[in-house]
Structure 1
Amino acid sequence: MKALQLFLLAVLTVVATGLETSQGRANDSKEGLGIVHYQPEQVHLAFGERTASEMVVTWSTRSLPPDLQVGMTTIVEYGLLEASGQSKLSQTARGTATKFVDGGRKKATQFIHRVTLRNLKPNSTYVYHCGSSYGWSSVFQFRTVPEASADWSPSLAIYGDMGNENAQSLARLQEETQRGMYDAIIHVGDFAYDMDTSNAAVGDAYMRQIESVAAYVPYMVCPGNHEEKYNFSNYRARFNMPGDTDSLWYSFNLGPVHFVSFSTEVYYFLGYGFKLLTKQFEWLEQDLAEANLPENRAKRPWIVTYGHRPMYCSDEKEYDCNKQLETYIRQGLPMLKWFGLEDLFYKHGVDVEIFAHEHFYTRLWPIYDFKVYNGSAEAPYTNPKAPIQIITGSAGCKEEREPFSKDLPEWNAYHSNDYGYTRLKAHNGTHLYFEQVSDDKDGQIVDSFWVIKDSHGSYPEVQ
């Protein structure tokens, strides 16, 4: 009888293992028999520490495949795309899997996998998939950028405030990404609305939605106010930007541009601690001072920053959007005036500052301390005497559009609350080109302008 029982147990074990592999079913140690998922989902890319030769692949699984114990769980298989259009996934890279528990009532659990692909050939196309013998993702591809070169012209799509409901711009962005129009995407805060909603199910749905963009080009991000819940835990767990600051602030180089990402939220959610604010400000001082050294500006002339909440805006918010109340990031903390960024960015010659948060698009004249500093009346963006700010928060979300003020400020150069997004083409060290795409108008360009600079560096002191 005991032999028969052992035989039946063995048969049941084989059957159960087969079900786990093909259908993702297994025992849940807390809830008895449950459904688990080993299939990778929410695949997305980011630049690594070395922009031209490293790519970070991140994805999620509902459960941790059993082969983690033998070091085979977190795997990316990849290879160069050959001239014939064929490719062998002949290389393997391994990384880490981290358990993420959402802070909601159900304590929803998933595993975030991260693998860095190193020693990639610059300016080359790779194909890849990720997972394990228990389940693989689809096969995607990406193209690396040229080696540390300021002589090529990267193209980016830039926007903020896109949710999984009413993600109006997403279909057009997906199509354009598949056509190879972009070298990277920058999402300037506020994702999903919100990632923690429904025990993080909304965050999962959003990350699956953007896979058809983010699995093909680096998806570079910064946090917004809608990521705040549970100390920004969904944002910090799901994204893997360069550096070691949980993706809260970092920088990277792309062609002739030094991009700097930062968190505006460290000014507003001080309940999570004052230290993040001071650490970010110290880091920004150091990063911008280094980027502004003459030898570095000669190699990479443009400095472009992006953070979620704007310094200036053209609507009548009840907080931080008018001259009387000031903005914390512009002027510094209330009363103390500590850690203000407008002076810091002006001092180190930041060329363009990109924001979101307001659900519209606004192009400002070159501005410092509420004063316009155009290059000239005929060519305001040619050799401007202050940074140029852009607000691009109209990608589409369930909160819908925001109205402009009845009386627009004098520094408002152009505005639109069409749903859409911004494109940036960095042509060379002297010319940047921006245009605003209206999804409401079937992809029409509703605004465009050139920023032209003969030289780069700190702006002159203003009396």
Structure 2
Amino acid sequence: MVPLHAACVWLSLAPLLVLGVPPIWTQPEQVHLSNAGAPGSMVVTWTTFNKTESKVEYGLLGGRLFEMSAKGDATLFVDSGEERRKMFIHRVTLTGLKPAANYVYHCGSDEGWSDVFLFTALNDSSSFSPRFALYGDLGNENPQSLARLQKETQLGMYDAILHIGDFAYDMDEDNARIGDEFMRQIQSIAAYVPYMTCPGNHESAYNFSNYRNRFSMPGQTESLWYSWNLGSAHIISLSTEVYFYLEFGQELLFKQYEWLRNDLEEANRPENRAVRPWIITMGHRPMYCSDDDQDDCTKFDSYVRLGRNDTKPPAPGLEDLFYRYGVDVELWAHEHTYERLWPVYGDKVYNGSRERPYVNPKAPVHIITGSAGCRERTDKFNPNPKEWSAFRSTDYGYSRMQVVNATHLYLEQVSDDQYGKVIDSIWVVKEKHGFSAWL
């Protein structure tokens, strides 16, 4: 029989003994989906902290569970913080998916499987009317809009999410543990619908390494810029940060500009614009804004809009490029507010008409939606905005968008402060798309 005092000693040592055993980190976490950029496909991405096989087992809802499987690869990501934490990012592309069919899946390996999730394969038809939630600047501290977005996603209200830069606040902090926690938080959204992203200034640490490694957007640019199609829309995601972080390579600025020009040229080929007439862009820092932030809105004319003259050669801005190729809607964040602009180009308003400004507008429509919720709270507005500012709100919230058909697009703003009330909405109606629509 063990003496009582000896038993107490063993019990006191038990936590140390447990902690002395290294954990086996083979359990999948941080599961999220993204569009692969090709019809009938979906990318599943997740993280483990030990190397394992990368496998997704899936099947049609109501059919035989996990009757299909696909394998992929894992890449080692070593965070640049002082601990040099290691994690393995797994990517598996599912192909041959039936449009609009519901699938059940889990991911992992025989060393550990995720929870079971559900997704609806994207409808490849150009007559499809996709529904989006869109926002930027969502952190894992004060994520005001998160619970509402989680519930609405799981109710099936969205076909895709557009997160327009600034994640976690910040992904690199605490040796990237903040990034891990944020990715766990959004799993309840991103494991069910494609979670499409672009980089913001809060991802800049270590040359955007957390952003470039954690997400899996289409193309070969480490998710910095890319395009994809859904319904009657061609959607372009870009990095505004190439205009600001020249220390990471000025050539990226010109490389992206050249890619954008080529992508817009292709999207404007008559046979392509006839099928996908709407061109929508998303980038983090806006061309126009009226926040009193002593930053982009008040200190200087936007580099993103006008370019930079202090580079060799001078770096072109994007406003003229987007106008020339008839971009219809431009989505932005960065400012921790919501702001809708009248159709604007060259700092001037070009409404379709006085009575119906968004019916056949003569310039692109800009939306700024950066109030999802983060530790930096919301911003204040300049009390005297320019004439292009149509509606402003400092409420926490997010936007919804539906590309209804080739001529009609609907946008609305949800206030989380007002318990999900829609506080702003517009219909953008265009009988003609492309540069000729401005004339």
Cα distance between partner residues in 2 of 1:438 and 1:334: 39
Say which of 307, 325, 331 aligns to 2:283.
307
Cα distance between partner residues in 2 of 1:373 and 1:353: 15
Preserved contact between residue 37 and residue 227 of structure 2 (Cα < 8 Å):
no
Equivalent position SS for 1:35: coil
Q: Which residue of 2 aligns with 1:44?
A: 32
Equivalent position amino acid for 1:274 in 2: Q
Please report how far the alpha carbon of residue 120 of structure 1 lies from its aligned counterpart in structure 2 after TM superposition.
1.1
Equivalent position amino acid for 1:79 in 2: G
Please report how far the alpha carbon of residue 293 of structure 1 lies from its aligned counterpart in structure 2 after TM superposition.
1.9
Preserved contact between residue 74 and residue 113 of structure 1 (Cα < 8 Å):
yes
Q: Which residue of 2 aligns with 1:361?
A: 338
Q: Which residue of 2 aligns with 1:287?
A: 263
Preserved contact between residue 419 and residue 440 of structure 1 (Cα < 8 Å):
yes
Cα distance between partner residues in 2 of 1:461 and 1:111: 48
Equivalent position amino acid for 1:47 in 2: N
Q: Which residue of 2 aligns with 1:432?
A: 409
Cα deviation code 1:162-196 (max 9, x no counterpart): 00000010100000011100000000000000000
Cα distance between partner residues in 1 of 2:295 and 2:390: 23
Equivalent position SS for 1:282: helix
For residues 18-417 of structure 1, the aligned pairs below 5 Å read 34-50=22-38, 52-65=39-52, 73-82=53-62, 87-147=64-124, 149-322=125-298, 325-335=300-310, 337-417=314-394
Say which is worse superposed, 256-265 or 326-335, in terms of deviation.
Answer: 326-335
Equivalent position amino acid for 1:371 in 2: K
Please report how far the alpha carbon of residue 334 of structure 1 lies from its aligned counterpart in structure 2 after TM superposition.
3.4
Preserved contact between residue 305 and residue 353 of structure 1 (Cα < 8 Å):
yes
TM-score normalized by the length of structure 1: 0.89
Cα distance between partner residues in 2 of 1:378 and 1:305: 26
Cα distance between partner residues in 2 of 1:415 and 1:87: 50
Preserved contact between residue 26 and residue 36 of structure 1 (Cα < 8 Å):
no
Preserved contact between residue 227 and residue 235 of structure 2 (Cα < 8 Å):
yes
Cα distance between partner residues in 1 of 2:203 and 2:285: 13
Q: Which residue of 1 aligns with 2:6?
A: none
Preserved contact between residue 132 and residue 159 of structure 2 (Cα < 8 Å):
yes
Equivalent position SS for 2:433: coil
Q: Percent identity?
A: 59
Equivalent position amino acid for 2:131 in 1: S
Equivalent position SS for 1:353: strand
Cα deviation code 1:290-315 (max 9, x no counterpart): 11122211111100000000001111
Cα distance between partner residues in 2 of 1:107 and 1:26: 24
After superposition, the Cα gap between the structure-2 partners of 1:141 and 1:330, relative to the gap in structure 1 and judged at 3 Å, is same
Equivalent position amino acid for 2:342 in 1: W
Equivalent position SS for 1:49: coil
Cα distance between partner residues in 2 of 1:278 and 1:79: 43
Say which is worse superposed, 86-95 or 450-459, in terms of deviation.
Answer: 86-95
Q: Which residue of 1 aligns with 2:11?
A: none
Please report how far the alpha carbon of residue 275 of structure 1 lies from its aligned counterpart in structure 2 after TM superposition.
1.5
Preserved contact between residue 414 and residue 421 of structure 2 (Cα < 8 Å):
yes
Q: Which residue of 1 aligns with 2:8?
A: none
Unpaired runs of 5+ residues, structure 1, are: 1-24, 66-72
Preserved contact between residue 156 and residue 425 of structure 1 (Cα < 8 Å):
yes
Equivalent position amino acid for 2:56 in 1: V
Unpaired runs of 5+ residues, structure 2, are: 1-16
After superposition, the Cα gap between the structure-2 partners of 1:461 and 1:376, relative to the gap in structure 1 and judged at 3 Å, is closer
Preserved contact between residue 361 and residue 438 of structure 2 (Cα < 8 Å):
no
Preserved contact between residue 292 and residue 458 of structure 1 (Cα < 8 Å):
no
Preserved contact between residue 241 and residue 247 of structure 1 (Cα < 8 Å):
yes
Please report how far the alpha carbon of residue 461 of structure 1 lies from its aligned counterpart in structure 2 after TM superposition.
7.9
Cα distance between partner residues in 2 of 1:60 and 1:81: 25
Cα distance between partner residues in 2 of 1:461 and 1:108: 52
Cα distance between partner residues in 1 of 2:139 and 2:174: 14
